[in-house]
Amino acid sequence: MDILVLGGTRFVGRHIVEAFLAAGHAVSVFTRGTSPDNDLPGAEHLRGDRNGGDAGHAALRGRTWDACVDVSGYTPRQLHASTGLLRGQVKQYVFVSTVSVYAEQGRHPVREDDPLFPPAADDVTEVTGETYGPLKVRCEQIVQEAFGPACVILRPQLVAGPGDYTARYPYWPDRVARGGTILAAGADADFMQVIDARDLARFAVTAVEERLSGVFNMAGPRVGWREFLAMQEAADVHWTTPEALERAGVEFTELPIYLPANGEQGGIMDVSNDRARAAGLTLTDPLATAQDTRAWSAPRDTVYSFTPEREAEVLALLGAEDARTS
């Protein structure tokens, strides 16, 4: 089939393009051409700007594709432009959204029919921590209004794997590799759950090949923190609690991807993938995700917000607190 990917040269988009090419499909990639990762042999590269209105989409005019996979839609303005143009040019529209659309993120588990945030207004263009979820809600609505049953909405939780430049998930395999005492919390009470970008990409191919319709959470295996670090052979872990972290002045956003299960966002690490698995989602072993991420990240020397100095400071504070209470 002929596939159009809106955005597709970095991380998630790149994996999606590679998955379609590997499955034998022809892929056209529509980007601004500014990413340093534009080397996708076998794909056609179309240049444009989603924020440029009709002129920005000129490269798409007069063409038809069997499906469009939208990886780079964040604002209603962008989605109105792309769906308005492509409604008569593609047979199916696959939109990559996010679990951040869910309004009650403390639910266990989070399912596709859970309440969503109120949609952002069509004139909102600034993507922030507060507007991101509502913007994606409105983008989903625009896709559904334009394509009806001929659309698929994918809602990934935190995406991991090779190519992850976000400085979130890679922190952990990189931290284990560095050695020394590792600060971690919620050993047996809390969980981590991510979706490997390659699993998301393969499901996008399945969604197109099988002409799926509807909304699907993209979530991987749910793994306890002790198990997650043990499978990577972390030798020296200082386990603490979310309460102790708070007393030490550590925000949960500071320790990458850690969310207490009973916290306001605990459900983000308990996202149901039942619907997607029934439709063909296959999952990479969590250890393979960690190892492959480390292999990609090792030569890059990523600087993380939770620095070795900050970790040592918190470990000292926790050690002093333990000494006072013993």
For residue 8, the model assigns a pLDDT of 84
CA angle 31, 292, 34 (to 5 degrees): 15
Q: Do 102 and 235 have their domain in common? A: no
**Residue 101: DSSP 8-state:** G
β-sheet bridge partners, residue 185: 240
Asked if 139 and 95 count as a contact pair (C-beta separation under 8 A), the reply is yes
Please tell me the distance from the alpha carbon of residue 230 to that of residue 228, in angstroms, as a whole number. Answer: 6
Q: Do 147 and 64 have their domain in common? A: yes
Q: Do 89 and 76 have their domain in common? A: yes
Q: Do 112 and 183 have their domain in common? A: no
2-46: pLDDT as tens digits: 999 999 889 999 999 999 999 999 999 999 887 766 678 899 999
- Range with the lowest mean pLDDT among 53-62, 113-122, 133-142? 53-62
Token code pair at residue 119: 């949609």
227-259: pLDDT as tens digits: 999 999 999 999 999 999 999 999 878 999 999
**Number of structural domains the chain divides into:** 2
Judge whether 255 lies within some domain: yes
| Structural domain span for residue 22 | 2-160+196-218
CA 42 from chain center: how many Å?
Answer: 25
Q: Do 105 and 45 have their domain in common? A: yes
Q: Do 13 and 89 have their domain in common? A: yes
Asked whether residue 321 carries a pLDDT value surpassing 80, the answer given is no
Asked if 27 and 48 count as a contact pair (C-beta separation under 8 A), the reply is no
Judge whether 165 lies within some domain: no
Residue 186: what are its φ and ψ, rounded to 5°? Answer: 70, 45
52 Cβ neighbours under 8 A, 6+ residues apart: none
122: CATH: 3.40.50.720
Residue 277: what are its φ and ψ, rounded to 5°? Answer: -65, -35
